[in-house]
Structure 1
Amino acid sequence: MPTPDRTSLADIVEAARDILESDGLPRLTMQAVAERVGVRAPSLYKRVRNRDALIRLVAETTVQDLGEQLSAVASSGDPGRDLGELARAFRAFAHAHPAGYQLIFADGREETRPSLDALTKASAPALRVAADLAGPEHALEAARMFTAWANGFVSMELAGAFNLGGDLDEAFEFGIIRLTAAFTAPEPPRAD
């Protein structure tokens, strides 16, 4: 068995992510990770404080990976096209890592949530596209609307909750078109 010094934190987090995806959050235990990386469970505590800290590391790494995937969407000069590419990248990530995706959007305890810094970095591509579409003064609101729509759609899709038939790919594209139109429409007058 490898000694704890030969088991890196990156290996521990990767093993935990694999267990999360294959077996679910309830089976993501220090013992299961230790077995996966080839050490005894007490040895993990030299690298990770406890299970909550392990879950937080998994959530942070997942958020970072999502942010990298979203950042890979290059600016085309057409904000509507960029929003569509961003939405498709978001959806593809969720399908490739469904348990990790659900973890980062779950209402977990503070100890298991990703840091604000990680979330801020991952949000940068959505904020950029939102600012391009809706204007800098509405970037945060537009990015939140985009994220809420995309997360709602993808969460329902992963849960098998679309039961009325129809083509989900077409529905997703319809949503992109409608969001783009909403973000670029003139601002309606406010009711005072």
Structure 2
Amino acid sequence: MKVSPNRDRRAERREATRREIVDAAWDIAHAEGLASVTLREIADRIGMRPPSLYSHVDSKNAVFDAMFADAYRQLGADFDAMELPDDPRAALQVVAEVFFDFATADPARYQLMFQRTLPGFTPSDAAYAESLRQYGTLRTSLGQAGVAMQDDLDIWTALLSGFTAQQLANDPGGDRWRRQLHRMVDMFCDAVGIEETQR
């Protein structure tokens, strides 16, 4: 008779508590902004004494680090769900919309991922590796659409992040810049030599 290995219940509980800490931190960030995330507030929300929290995270920056990695895993899930059409311009349109919708859906998450607004916070190598994984996915998706040069990829990310920043700053909750994504994609494709789709 084959016996399955025992579960590591302590590790499972520890991971569940860490997930609860990250979820509470996101709740605070959504309600009050990233700067309002404190260990005391997190502890209060999850019913833990602040000193006990230190057995799970050693600082507020460790919480931000876990949130940073979590945010990139969320982006990865959206990238994984993409179904790219064969047509290069249509594929780039899908990539643009998926990223734009992800970024504008959660301004606090966008701020943590793409803007350096938290004094003293730099993602750890492990958390940053998650962002590099998603950048690799983006690079592969764009490569399938014919965007192979690093300079072209740099222009793409600058355009798309600029559109996102404009939307968040000037029309939060609206669609002013989202409505222009097709024009951005067409201008980009014209500039990098991706042929126009027959319509």
Shorter chain as normaliser: what TM range?
0.7 to 0.9
Separation in 2, partners of 1:104, 1:135: 24
Q: Which amino acid aligns with 2:167?
A: E
Q: Which amino acid aligns with 1:113?
A: P
Residues 82 and 63 from structure 1, CA distance in 2 versus in 1: closer, same or farther, beyond 3 angstroms? same
Separation in 1, partners of 2:112, 2:177: 23
Q: Which amino acid aligns with 2:152?
A: A
Separation in 2, partners of 1:122, 1:176: 20
Query: 2:145 is paired with a residue of what secondary structure?
Result: helix
Map 1:105-116 → 2, pairs under 5 A: 105-107=114-116, 108=118, 111-113=121-123, 115-116=127-128
Please report the RMSD computed on the Cα atoms of aligned residues, expressed in angstroms: 2.6
Residue among 13, 22, 27 paired with 2:36: 27
TM-score relative to the length of structure 1: 0.81
Q: Deviations over 1:155-177 (max 9, x none)?
A: 12101179xxx943332221122
Conserved 8 A contact 1:34-1:44: yes
Residues 121 and 109 from structure 1, CA distance in 2 versus in 1: closer, same or farther, beyond 3 angstroms? farther
Map 1:6-155 → 2, pairs under 5 A: 8-107=17-116, 108=118, 111-113=121-123, 115-136=127-148, 138=149, 140-155=150-165
Query: 1:8 is paired with a residue of what secondary structure?
Result: helix
Conserved 8 A contact 1:68-1:122: no
Residues 94 and 181 from structure 1, CA distance in 2 versus in 1: closer, same or farther, beyond 3 angstroms? same
TM-score relative to the length of structure 2: 0.78
Identity %, equivalent residues: 25
Separation in 2, partners of 1:170, 1:5: 44
Q: Deviations over 1:171-192 (max 9, x none)?
A: 2221122122323359xxxxxx
Q: Structure 1 residue 112: deviation in Å?
A: 3.5
Query: 2:76 is paired with a residue of what secondary structure?
Result: helix
Q: Deviations over 1:93-142 (max 9, x none)?
A: 12221111111111256743263311111113320132233454x1x333
Q: Does 1:171 align with 2:180?
A: yes
Conserved 8 A contact 1:30-1:51: yes
Unaligned runs of 5+ in 1: 187-192
Task: Tell me the matched-pair count.
Answer: 178
Unaligned runs of 5+ in 2: 1-12
Query: In structure 2, what is the equivalent of residue 156 of structure 1?
Result: 166
